[in-house]
Structure 1
Amino acid sequence: MNTNSIKSFAREARLLLLDGVFQRLKYWSFQENGTNIENLNTIQGGYIFRGQPFTDVNVPTKWNKLKLKLKNKQSFKDVREEASYTWFNRLMAIKILETNGYISKQLAYTEGSRTPLIVQNAKRGEHNITNNADKELLIEYLKEDKDEEAFALLVTNLCHTNTVLHDIFGRIDDYTEILFPQNSLKIDGLLDLINSDAISETDYKEVELIGWLYQFYISDKKDEVFKGFKKNIKARAEDIPAATQIFTPKWIVKYMVENTVGKIYLDYEPDSDLRDQMKYLVENENDNVIASATKQSLIKDLTQLTLIDPAAGSGHILVTGFDLYMKMYREAGYTANQAVQNILRHNLYGLDIDDRAMQLSRFAVLLKAAQYDASILEDPILPHIYSFPEDTLGNLLQQKTK
């Protein structure tokens, strides 16, 4: 994997996204101090903004939620970061899914055109928007050659209707929908970058790509937090994930998985051929003798062999564990489909303090599952990976003491 190229891509994408969301915030009249200089007035069938009538009936509610969210300079900065990463997250997930053939091409260009296929198809009447108001809005955008507005509407709809995107990343916060980065379709803009060769086809096949993108995307934010530490500035809860996310090297991950899950499995199946495939397995001279003599094991069935990562990050350990579990189930005679379903239902668990990391970890594990059985994406089993925000434990303790 070309990490240097991926790093450059993620950092450039972040700058484009931050600028695009900033321009969108300015369009909606919000200033960096959190105030707004224009009001949006709801009318029947739409709204009036900057003296112009618009027919999108969904905007007023979202705009008012955004106004409530923006209180000061810090909240403006937080909303900008949140919206930027939300769209990076989803756009890269779409690109990964389409490049691997799990969904039809959506963001890709065709030869001789810089219009994304999702917009080209909509111009031919090929889209899956079912809401009448959104349909009329899409037709209006296409008639007026407002490709960027049509693109934002179509991508937002895809995020709501695609099972994997919706189940993994959840519903987009209402106000974030009106912060789709501006100028995404301009020359040398965000979509040009996504469709460039900055990330190779081979790297798109790696399920760890989403983790590398995440780490590099937040690297500048991480630098900001550490600069604050040097000035004795305490990190806020919102800044902790950026400061603590580190991608564990693959050999260390394999060492950990093979010497925990792997060892327990070999106690369960001492004659397994997998012993010779575990490169980083460390065994004592008497391991085999003891296992054969006592016939004792910590598990009685493969479904009891669980792996939990309490700081899952983007799921690197869980993905590596998935591969090893797959070998175990296949050795036991399970089909690929049976093995995938068992692993997702019974074997893998993860926790993280960061919602975004939890989402990416779930996505990575499902991508790994799809490498063995692509049908799992049609009706995905949501991996047992959960976010555990900083205040959760405090809240639980307060409830217990009441």
Structure 2
Amino acid sequence: MDKETRNAIERATQRIRRILQEDFAEQLDAVFDVRLDGRVAEEGGQHLTGRELLLRDRIVAAVEHKRRAGMKQADAVRDYIRDAAFTTLNRFAALKMLEPRGLVQECIGRGENSNGFTEFCGLAPALKTADGAGYRLYIESIFDELSTEVKVLFDRRDPASVLWPKKAIFDEMLEILNGADLKVVWKEDETIGWIYQFFNSGEERRQMRDESQAPRNSRELAIRNQFFTPSYVVQFLTDNTLGRIWYKMCEGRTGLAETCTYMVKASGSAPKSSDSAKKDPRDLRILDPACGSGHFLLYCFALLLLIYEEAWHDETSPTSSVTGRTLRRDYATLEDLKKATPGLILRHNLHGVDIDPRCAQIAQLALWMRAQRAFNDAKISRGERPIIRRANVVIAEPMPGDPKVVEDFSATLQPAMVANLFNEIVSEMRLAGEMGSLLPIERTLARSIDRARAAFNEEQSHTKKFLPGLAPIKRQGEFDLSGISNSAFFEKVEDNIFSALKAFVSDAVNGKGTRRRLFADDAEQGIAFVEMMGRRFDVLLMNPPFGASSLIAKRDFEAAYPKTKNNLYAAFVERGVQLLNQGGCLGAITSRSGFYLSTFKYWREEILLKTAPPMVVADLGYGVLDGAKVEAAAYCLEVRK
């Protein structure tokens, strides 16, 4: 995408953000009695209808949820407005991208004259109203339909979706999105990623850096490190990690040798079978530990489509650890495989983590659209496509900050060891928003599970002292830790907690529903993050943050990474190597400073030269990352622990 087109996206994004935030701030103050200075009236005014009172309860609960997570009252209100504007923009940008892909009927391309709304009104002519209420009903019905698969963006229960732009603002937003200068962008997969980057202006980033050399919190850390990775860099790093691994597994006999045009191959003979044992594609795990809009994951998706098909044709392909069977056994025909592959890729292969909650909206939407494109390329009709409900994209953020809700929920967990483990995770996740994938949560989890196992063994020993027939009766479904691994134990705990969260939300009374749902959403994200950090991966791809850690996490960060604490990107490489299997590959674009500055001596000598030596390095220089004043290098490492 050329600079002129990117500039057009930036102008449109900033303009829409401004008008939405101004409108939503005015609505909060004038309608819902929520002031920008953080003051919130105890009760809604008499001017509010019954429906508006319910909406106000959701807004107030969302603001209070942010405040209990550590924000000042005024910051919590501003953050809610920002969330609402971002979600609104993303939803309508998503519709603009779905229209040319045939995934929705034309619905906003010509406003109320769009074909979809015209047909909708043919069934109910009274919906064509001057105030736009009927058009809103139509758009919301599309959101509801899409939320069955892209819930994180289109779920109308999300408090960020409570506000709807006034008609004049709504019309102006559609006019901008439908402008001639943006006509070419909606067919491009990367457009939604640029919207994500440009939502925060360069001026905002400069102001943050002027006020503090180091990021002061997780939001600043995320915003200051939003740099879209160019497509050629994504391809270079992925071709030489995922592409190279499959190339070696196939001893060079793979179509990826031609598809991966940036793959650097050793001259002479093809790789030997002893270089890398074959795997079923379902057992290949890929992680982007700072995934942003999911650019790396999207290109991995394209390569994995080819990998799955090659493995299906390969008579020597091994069985999968997932099913215990080969792809050919699980999918009798190539058509069956193509119908299943997009879901398999999102379920088993691709994983992403970020500290910015908005990434979940962007990355999951982008991956869902990529899956639909794969279905379309395989000529699989909409009615025959399996539903894809979510991707493995999780947000690293503190667990719920309301001690009372945590206490109430913990009291519902049985047995006590599960409640204890949950409380320990909540405590250890307090810096997840600042450290993200750098948080070594799996080490804490291992110690916690060891304590739970010791308590279980002690109880078992105590039970053996009873005479036959007099021991306490074991309740059905009670945890049994005998002979199971830590990962198997955590799977049991995870299922237990998720079931309890659903019950906790459904049992809410007296207006506690939104509060508990926000708690449950955060808790589910936290548990999913812990589970993901306990896995090990074959490929790790990233454009990590660089510079200093956030001030809040400085002490913990330096304690966890004493040898690479001088720069975040060095710590991310160290952490990435920890998260990889033996023979796994890491691809990263970072500052080139680590290759020559004396402060990176340990990074070079202990990580690059001993643990994960470079396979390929590209010294790219200045101006590669849009807006980043850094000389960059792209490189791929292979783990040899």
The two structures share one fold, judged by TM-score above 0.5: yes
The reply to whether residue 315 of structure 1 matches residue 294 of structure 2 is yes
Task: Give the CA deviation at 1:40.
Answer: 3.2
Structure 2 CA distance, aligned partners of 1:156 and 1:10? 22
Structure 2 CA distance, aligned partners of 1:11 and 1:165? 28
Kept after mapping to 2: 8 A contact 1:312/1:358? no
| Gap change, CA 1:122 and 1:30, over 3 Å in 2 | farther
Which of the residues 197, 213, 216 maps onto 2:180? 197
Identity %: 22
| Gap change, CA 1:298 and 1:121, over 3 Å in 2 | same
The reply to whether residue 387 of structure 1 matches residue 395 of structure 2 is yes
Which of the residues 151, 154, 179 maps onto 2:163? 179
Question: Alignment RMSD, CA only?
Answer: 3.2
Which of the residues 217, 221, 239 maps onto 1:240? 221
Q: TM-score, normalised by structure 2?
A: 0.52
Task: Give the CA deviation at 1:363.
Answer: 1.3
Give the 5 Å matches for 1:226-237.
226-232=206-212, 235-237=216-218
| Gap change, CA 1:180 and 1:81, over 3 Å in 2 | same
The reply to whether residue 145 of structure 1 matches residue 130 of structure 2 is yes
Give the 5 Å matches for 1:342-381.
342-374=344-376, 375=382, 379-381=387-389
1:218-267 CA-partner distances (Å, limit 9, x unpaired): 2x2x6324413322385333333222222111111111111111111111
The reply to whether residue 85 of structure 1 matches residue 86 of structure 2 is yes
SS of the equivalent of 2:99 reads helix
The reply to whether residue 297 of structure 1 matches residue 276 of structure 2 is yes
Give the 5 Å matches for 1:1-400.
1=1, 2-28=5-31, 29-35=33-39, 40=44, 48-49=46-47, 54=49, 57-67=50-60, 69=63, 72-109=73-110, 120-126=118-124, 142=127, 145-147=130-132, 149-163=133-147, 166-169=150-153, 171-173=155-157, 175-184=159-168, 189-201=172-184, 203-218=185-200, 220=201, 223-232=203-212, 235-269=216-250, 270-285=252-267, 288=270, 291-292=271-272, 294-332=273-311, 333=313, 334-335=334-335, 336-374=338-376, 375=382, 379-389=387-397, 394-395=429-430
| Gap change, CA 1:177 and 1:208, over 3 Å in 2 | closer
1:134 matched residue in structure 2? none
Task: Give the CA deviation at 1:116.
Answer: 5.6
Select the structure of larger CA radius of gyration: 2
| Gap change, CA 1:164 and 1:194, over 3 Å in 2 | farther
2:473 matched residue in structure 1? none
1:50-98 CA-partner distances (Å, limit 9, x unpaired): 7xxx4xx432122134245278432221121111111112121122112
Task: Give the CA deviation at 1:300.
Answer: 2.8
1:132 matched residue in structure 2? none
Kept after mapping to 1: 8 A contact 2:147/2:155? no
Q: TM-score, normalised by structure 1?
A: 0.79
Structure 2 CA distance, aligned partners of 1:259 and 1:186? 46
Structure 2 CA distance, aligned partners of 1:165 and 1:200? 26
Structure 1 CA distance, aligned partners of 2:361 and 2:170? 29
For structure 1, the 5+ residue unaligned runs are 42-47, 128-138
Kept after mapping to 1: 8 A contact 2:288/2:353? yes
Kept after mapping to 1: 8 A contact 2:152/2:361? yes
Structure 2 CA distance, aligned partners of 1:274 and 1:382? 27
Kept after mapping to 2: 8 A contact 1:366/1:377? no
Structure 2 CA distance, aligned partners of 1:273 and 1:398? 43
1:148-199 CA-partner distances (Å, limit 9, x unpaired): x444444344323324564342634564444212245566x11111222232
SS of the equivalent of 1:5 reads helix
**Aligned partner of 1:199: which letter?**
L
Structure 2 CA distance, aligned partners of 1:338 and 1:115? 37
Aligned residues, how many? 367
1:332-360 CA-partner distances (Å, limit 9, x unpaired): 44443243233223222222122211221
Structure 2 CA distance, aligned partners of 1:224 and 1:266? 44
Structure 1 CA distance, aligned partners of 2:386 and 2:169? 30
| Gap change, CA 1:206 and 1:159, over 3 Å in 2 | same
Between stretches 159-168 and 359-368, larger displacement belongs to 159-168
SS of the equivalent of 2:394 reads strand
For structure 2, the 5+ residue unaligned runs are 65-71, 314-333, 377-381, 400-425, 431-440, 452-641
Structure 2 CA distance, aligned partners of 1:258 and 1:303? 19
Kept after mapping to 1: 8 A contact 2:150/2:368? no
SS of the equivalent of 1:349 reads strand
